[in-house]
Structure 1
């Protein structure tokens, strides 16, 4: 049996979905049953920089194209007959044996976040991929329901939650919490970044900082990125490295996560791993993944967000409870568990002849 992982994500700037794919790939590599399945191949377009080291797999560039054309033409041509695992929403449409991970239906649920060409491509591709795929997987029960509601899948996708333990501090690394609220994410419309800018305005003159880690887009923040004075309480850091983001998670009074829609809600769990309290939108799947470990507010109710933020600042007992509850919640989501679940699904597709041999009793 030939098993190939679509490594297109390795040759482009890292997105949230790509981060999931990278962590899943390295976790699968640790448990891959090479004795029964053989080594796997990570197929990549030209331009791969060779930064990935695997124990049970081999990274192999193929073809001459790039981007979506490589995925649709070169990948299936060079790996005809293989089972191809596609962790980042898209896959070669004409290939006959795809396992595809479709993370969400956001492009249809919240089209304002995406360009017209992107909407058209995903609207065409995703339902056709789902119908032809050997298996469709998604990352939350909410996403499985939305994929069906939007007609992308006809039957429920398999659900495998993401992990969030790719970088996490020990207790000794914790820093004193500042009077600072953090927004971490892209400026896409469904992220509701403008609420964060409005919340900063509500706290003007109260010695409270509001920090944005991510792309600086004036439109997403209601123009605040262009108009906020240097001495104001709203700071834009732009894209930052993981170490800098980890430091913000350690120091923030809370992460503010006002999204209208998500596939999984990766960022709040990442923050919780650092003991950072979370104030989240009360929309699914955040309520699914966070449970009772966060404060929730309607993403359109600015007053509710102001009250929640004020409670974090004025009630140290609440902040401490959310910090500890968040750590416990984040520990439920590990890449090892995700990899175990995916391997089980992969074995369902590859057939019983690929199952690992039973181990003798000790």
Structure 2
């Protein structure tokens, strides 16, 4: 069988990194590929130095090669990808090398497939440090030119590649990420009550869960929430997730808006706790300026939580008719969506049912099927 190399050095097993978007993508795609009942390919998986294979039992079906670079050192990881990975792929006689995080080795001689998650370094450049923008600008464009096939997380990202990077649309494969099979939204009432007591969860609240960084428009969310409070909303705003780049002072923003006592910041949320936060909220809000996909939106819908999301990039593809959309740059539009979510009206209650159905349409088995199609394209190139 053909040998496929999966560059999964972006995959983590440590708390705090494990549920980052790219790590979730890598873990679940690899799991789906390796658990294929009638495999077309054999796999070599390249991992970072501190990745624990026991955290992903499916890896027993693949050969593992470890980078000397730890997972929390992105520039050391990149340096190894451009040197050591090239040599390891050649020594292993890999026929197709799949880069799971936007770029591939620039000097590798084997066929290339690359997953491009988004173009935020171009569409929202202020969301990235300048070194990352420069690196992705050079390596990303070169990877696109060399790749025999390019997986994209959404049709929106595919359009961006064609319009901004002049990518060949014939080489693009839209492969939506799937719903984490462990997050099926089923939370029993007793466990939920214990969680609410343990975490001192408010009776009523709106939830954002995701990376805390400037492009998520959390400053505008706090401003919109303050206006909602001014109109009589009695609940709180919970902004949960690990800190990304940008150093946002959310407490300061809430204090300036007069809602410091209404803001709750629980920080990093573990995978087992996610369904409880989603299920406890009366609404999930995702005001991001740009998303290649937006996994938290899918997770919230799976838990039956009514969703209000920005009307840009890939988010309308994810939400479909199962949630509300608003202009994230327009406070009035955001407030109107939040008011509808909090109304508990029949149309809003129906979003809970629609959201669950919509979330079930996104599976990692389908993502893996699209990846195998990309490998066939590469092998025939």
TM tier relative to shorter chain: 0.7 to 0.9
Of the three residues 169, 174, 177, the one matched with 1:159 is: 174
2:79 is the counterpart of 1:69: yes
* Match runs of 1:1-362 below 5 Å: 1-11=2-12, 13-14=17-18, 15-31=20-36, 33-34=38-39, 37=41, 39-51=42-54, 52-53=56-57, 54-62=59-67, 66-80=76-90, 81-82=93-94, 83-96=96-109, 97-151=111-165, 153-155=167-169, 157-169=172-184, 171=186, 173=188, 178-204=203-229, 206-215=233-242, 219=248, 221=250, 223-224=252-253, 232-351=261-380
For the Cα contact (< 8 Å) 1:218–1:225, is it kept in 2? no
Which segment is superposed worse, 99-108 or 225-234?
Answer: 225-234
Once the 2 structures are TM-superposed, how far is the Cα of residue 169 of structure 1 from its aligned partner?
3.6
Supply the distance in 1 between the matched residues of 2:319 and 2:69 (Cα, whole angstroms).
44
5+ residue gaps, structure 1: 353-362
Which segment is superposed worse, 180-189 or 306-315?
Answer: 306-315
TM superposition score normalised by structure 2: 0.84
Alpha carbon RMSD of aligned pairs, Å? 2.6
User: Residue 223 of structure 1 aligns to a residue in which SS?
Assistant: helix
Once the 2 structures are TM-superposed, how far is the Cα of residue 78 of structure 1 from its aligned partner?
1.2
Aligned positions, number: 350
For the Cα contact (< 8 Å) 1:107–1:122, is it kept in 2? yes
For the Cα contact (< 8 Å) 1:185–1:214, is it kept in 2? yes
Q: 1:302 to 1:197 in 2, by over 3 A?
A: same
Supply the distance in 1 between the matched residues of 2:335 and 2:68 (Cα, whole angstroms).
53
5+ residue gaps, structure 2: 71-75, 194-201
Once the 2 structures are TM-superposed, how far is the Cα of residue 86 of structure 1 from its aligned partner?
1.3
TM superposition score normalised by structure 1: 0.88
Q: 1:167 to 1:185 in 2, by over 3 A?
A: same
Supply the distance in 2 between the matched residues of 1:264 and 1:231 (Cα, whole angstroms).
31
